[in-house]
Chain A
Amino acid sequence: KAGVTQTPRYLIKTRGQQVTLSCSPISGHRSVSWYQQTPGQGLQFLFEYFSETQRNKGNFPGRFSGRQFSNSRSEMNVSTLELGDSALYLCASSRSAAVYEQYFGPGTRLTVT
């Protein structure tokens, strides 16, 4: 069974631009969570989606948004990029919101210049 896939793997953007990252969960998994990883702040929870509904949201500004499609694929969007948004963005999927095991994708490395 294929694992969690994330596209693109690497991305370079300039300040003020917006970016969309994509995550395809493991087949049969309906819950998708997003995390931001930076050297300074470590791993921080962004949001979680289940059955196209946002269930939880972390403490991030409104510039960070996401959505989930009927096939469970998820996208996250960051508008008006800032230098501090440079990070590794990790997506994780689980079979359902009640299943505790989350499986991570390889991440998207975003660099903002």
Chain B
Amino acid sequence: AQTVTQSQPEMSVQEAETVTLSCTYDTSESDYYLFWYKQPPSRQMILVIRQEAYKQQNATENRFSVNFQKAAKSFSLKISDSQLGDAAMYFCAYRSNTGTASKLTFGTGTRLQVTL
């Protein structure tokens, strides 16, 4: 079974600064997807960024980028120029691309605080 680990329960960053959230995962599969989801106080899960395991190039979405290290099974999220609206819980998630297994396996989350 796949597992996802987020070792930072809480992180804090000053507005306009950069922060990196860590995620490691364990799998024996070679074909899968990784995601970062954001859950603000409204509780709605919002997809931030995705990475296909077969792609070597790290995904980027505006101020959000990932550092995907397949051999190390590491998938960190970098938020640049942090904004107050980035304050939320961030979840790392894994999805197999094998067979019919389409469920998301989530980490325990990192609560990000953004300060002035």
**B-binding residues in A (CB < 8 A):** 31, 33, 35, 42-43, 45, 48, 55-56, 58, 88, 90, 92, 94, 97-98, 100-107, 109
**A-binding residues in B (CB < 8 A):** 33, 37, 42-47, 50, 52, 91, 95, 97, 100-109
Q: Is the CB of A105 within 8 A of B44?
A: yes
What residues of B have a CB within 8 angstroms of the CB of A97 in the complex? Answer: 100, 102
A88-B103 Cα distance, complex, nearest whole Å: 17
Q: Which of B44, B47, B52 has the most CB of A within 10 A?
A: B44
In-complex Cβ contact of B103 among A33, A98, A103, A105 (8 A): A33
What residues of A have a CB within 8 angstroms of the CB of B42 in the complex? Answer: 106
Q: Is the CB of A104 within 8 A of B102?
A: no
Q: Is the CB of A100 within 8 A of B106?
A: no
Q: Is the CB of B44 within 8 A of A31?
A: no
